[in-house]
Structures are given as C-alpha cells and as structure tokens.
Amino acid sequence: MKSLINIFKVLSDETRLRIILLLTQSELCVCELSYILDVSQPNVSKNLAKLKELSLVTSQRKEKYIFYQLRNDNMILTHILNDILDNLEDYPQLVTDQNRNDGNLKWLDQCCNHRLNKQ
C-alpha cells in the first residue's frame, strides 16, 4: 500500500509529474530537463533524487553527464502515465514540454553535446 501512496504523492507534484512524463519518452540529463521545464537545475536535481529514492527512475553516467530514465517495472504508474499521454492535448503545459523536448537539439550544443555526434 505504501508504494501506491508514494506514486500518488509523486504525481501530485507538478514538476515531478512533468519530469516523469518526459522520461517516459526518452532518457534525459538534468540540463536538458532544466531547459525543457524552464526550472533551475538544483530544482530538477532535487526532484530526480526523490524519484530515484522511490525507485521510479534509474541513472547512467555518460562522460560528465548523468542521464535519467523512467523504470518501466511499475505497472500502476505505467498505466497512469499512458492514460495521460493518450490525452496529452488536454494538458497544455505537457504539450509545451513535449514540444520543447522535441526541439531541444538546438540547445544541446551547450549541454550534452556528445549526443549530437551520435545522431
């Protein structure tokens, strides 16, 4: 029961919800999330630490950057997120986040530029 309550606590925070939804689509580093969400890197890092503490995200170091990815083994969370993504047009802020994520390649030369070499 505690894990279910933790999921809803996490989803009740706007920044964490936005982070989780972005991580359902791709792995991202703190600087990318900060840019997409238009929030400070310390704020993003604090929220990612909470998500990692609850075992909802994993991280992997690549050079000097740490990339985060949503764990997909929590079926309840996966179903909730899929329902939100299926109705994304109902949530303008989430559409904006998605559009910024889709267009963030222009910004990556200031951040994790090693990704550009792989594309």
What sign does the CA torsion over 42, 47, 50, 55 have? negative
Residue 111 clears pLDDT 70, i.e. is over it: no
Task: Please report the pLDDT score of residue 72 as a whole number.
Answer: 87
Nearest C-alpha neighbor of 84 from the set 27, 3, 7, 28: 7
The Cα–Cα gap between 100 and 69 comes to 18
pLDDT digits (tens, 9 = 90+) for 5-42: 988 998 999 999 999 999 998 899 999 999 899 999 99
The Cα–Cα gap between 17 and 8 comes to 10
Position with higher pLDDT, 91 vs 106: 91
pLDDT digits (tens, 9 = 90+) for 48-104: 999 999 999 999 998 888 999 999 898 999 999 999 999 999 999 999 998 888 876
User: What domains can be seen in the chain, in order of their start residue?
Assistant: 2-98 (1.10.10.10)
